[in-house]
Amino acid sequence: MANASKRLDTNIEGNFFVDSTCIDCDTCRQLAPTTFIEDSDYSAVFHQPESPKEEFAAYQALLACPVGSIGTIKKNSNVYSQAQTSFPLPIEDDVHYVGFNSEKSYGAHSYFITHPNGNWLIDSPRYLKHLVQAFEERGGIRYIFLSHKDDIAEAARYAKTFSAARIIHQADVSAMPDSEWVIDGEEPAQVEAEFRCIPVPGHTAGCMALQYKNRFLFSGDHLWWDRDLQQLGTPENLVWNHAQLERSVRKLLKYSFEWVLPGHGERIHLSYSKMKTAVERLIRRRWP
């Protein structure tokens, strides 16, 4: 719970505030960009919600915050409850953003796919009764795809609850050694007709991306959209192997996708041709 006594001075006066426990994970700024802004090493409220839409989004950000650093002076219980039940949030088709990001993965995003052959959880949110119920109502979870060792969070608890198969790469399996499906090597692995696991070592030795329907790329910490620069980004720090990272980014030119859905950073939807161009520009920028 956010503490008003730790309220950052960078917040504008009003009901919503961010306190000094903020880890600057960017979650709130993505969910409620008209309310929250980055200020130095923290997020801060730069505009108090004025419309019902803005207030709703601010409560979604409050709920998704992995460290509970967003608070209110006076809670609107009705809007709070509505925001809570809005998760998982639809993105497009049968793909959803789960919300309730976990501190254990430094606030990484997780995603949920409803599918007739069994639902997928991509990386893990906090383990919460609300989410368990939401997943149950949508048919449970068959697979849990783990993009890399940093973002497993509560995957083991979800796997136990739903008897789900966890998919992880051999190079990162030490983070979850009892995983049911272990991918090895650098060749893509087909799981069901529409799902392809693509090893993309670089950030960690066992990083993987998940391609779905040749439209969605769940990229973990391998690839994201930088909204300030309006371009794709890839890790520059905390890289296990820079040469492997370059090869992994180049590898993505072989695959079709129009959505990048990352663990950290902004998601982006572009046409197939514009997405390929964005990847090519990233390669030229990083490895001229």
| Structural tokens at position 84 | 């809570």
Co-location of 149 and 233 in the same domain: yes
What mean pLDDT comes out for the span 99-126? 97
CA distances from 89 to 52, 54, 213 (A): 18, 16, 19
| Structural tokens at position 234 | 């890839």
User: Contact, 145 vs 197, CB < 8 A?
Assistant: yes
Of the three residues 48, 66, 84, the one that is the final residue of a domain is 84
User: Contact, 219 vs 263, CB < 8 A?
Assistant: yes
Q: Look at residue 1 in the predicted model and tell me its pLDDT.
A: 83
Quick check: 152 pLDDT over 90? yes
Co-location of 119 and 79 in the same domain: no
Using a 10 angstrom Cβ sphere, with 0-12 exposed, 13-18 middle and 19 or more buried, the burial of residue 227 is middle
What mean pLDDT comes out for the span 152-164? 98
User: Contact, 18 vs 6, CB < 8 A?
Assistant: no
- Domain of 156: which CATH number? 3.60.15.10
Q: Which residue has the tokens 């001229």?
A: 288
Q: What share of the chain has pLDDT > 90, as a percent?
A: 98
Specify the DSSP element, H or E, that contains 246.
helix 242-251
Of the three residues 84, 111, 126, the one that is the final residue of a domain is 84
β-strand 259-262 against 216-220: which pairing, if any?
parallel
What mean pLDDT comes out for the span 209-219? 98
User: Contact, 255 vs 262, CB < 8 A?
Assistant: no
User: Contact, 235 vs 279, CB < 8 A?
Assistant: no
Q: Is the pTM of this model over 0.75?
A: yes
170-210: pLDDT as tens digits: 999 999 999 999 999 999 999 989 999 999 999 999 999 99
Co-location of 80 and 101 in the same domain: no
Task: Count the domains in the chain.
Answer: 2
Average per-residue pLDDT for the chain? 97
Using a 10 angstrom Cβ sphere, with 0-12 exposed, 13-18 middle and 19 or more buried, the burial of residue 253 is exposed
Co-location of 43 and 107 in the same domain: no
Co-location of 203 and 252 in the same domain: yes
Q: What is the extent of the structural domain holding 61?
A: 4-84
